[in-house]
Structures are given as C-alpha cells and as structure tokens.
Structure 1
Amino acid sequence: MSEENLYSRAEKRVDEKIGFYRHLYSFIVVNVILIVINILFSRGEWWFYWVTFFWGIGLVSHFIKTFIIFDKFDEKHRESMIEKEMEKMRK
C-alpha cells in the first residue's frame, strides 16, 4: 500500500473517530440541558429520558460503526473478498 493511500485511509479513520467524539459531546451537553429544563419547568413529568434513550440508540450505533465494524473490514479483508469474488467469476 502506498504511503499516500495509507495516509488517506488513516485520515478517514481519524475523521470517523472525531465525528463520534463530537456526537458524544453533543449528546452529553444537550441531555444535561434537557434534564435541567425538565427539572425546572416540568415538575412530575419526566420526558427527557425519551430523548436520551432514542438518541442513545443512535449514539451506540455510531460507536459500533466507528470502532467495531469499521475495523473488521480493513484493506486486507477487502482484498481477500475481491480475490474470492474473482475466483468465483473465473469458474
């Protein structure tokens, strides 16, 4: 793999990770604000946890995509899949 290609892939990975951390930061800040608003203005009605729950599902899926799935499909695995597909096509 060329140095330029390696740099490009590393840059993409770093951008994915930064995107996740920005998402996490937004999640924390916005949910703290929503909790404070809920406590101050909606006594007895707890609605903030719905936002936290559904946004949390999105955050978990972003984490899985960034740190688990992305790592499983690296260049080596991709090349292996291409070779297998080429073998099938030759038959």
Structure 2
Amino acid sequence: MIEIIQSHDLTPDAAHAAARQVADKLARELGLTCRWQGDVLRFSKSGVDGTLTLAAAEARMQIRLGFLYGAFASTIRAKVAEKMRKVFVPEADTH
C-alpha cells in the first residue's frame, strides 16, 4: 500500500479543487474511475484502488496496488507525491 500525507493551508473549496487535479492526473495516466463521497475521493480500476481523504490541514492518499502495478509502486508514489505537493502547496513551486 502507498500512503502519502500532504499538509496544506487551503480552504475546503480550494482543497477539493486541488484533489480534483490529482484525481484527473491519476485518471488520465492509469485509467481510473473517480467519485466523491463527502470529503473522500474514491478511485479504482482493475488492479488499483484507493482514496484521497481531505481534512482541514492535510490530504491523505492511500493507494492499493494489485500484482501487476506493484512493480511500479515507487514510480507511482513519486509521481503522486510530486503532484500533491504542487497542487496542495503551490508556493513550493516558486522556490
């Protein structure tokens, strides 16, 4: 399982917009289906499923990979962590 926790100081609406950017990237690159349930974005497809949970000061991504995707876990972790950092802490890009 991949777990990434990204702190943020975004408003709830901005956090949802940031989460949508992360979900859109995952959907494009891995062909995932995404749906919101309150403050939890659930995504899945054969061999991959997980959640992106929004809280007041953090976003927590949990991804479960099946056997075929397991070999790419470190690459997937790095790409998702980078995207989350960029969208949840936008000023980090300017330094």
TM-score range, shorter chain: 0.3 to 0.5
TM-score by length of 1: 0.35
Name the larger-Rg structure: 1
**More relative contact order in 1 or in 2 (CA 8 Å, sep 6+)?**
2
**Structure-2-length-normalised TM-score:** 0.34
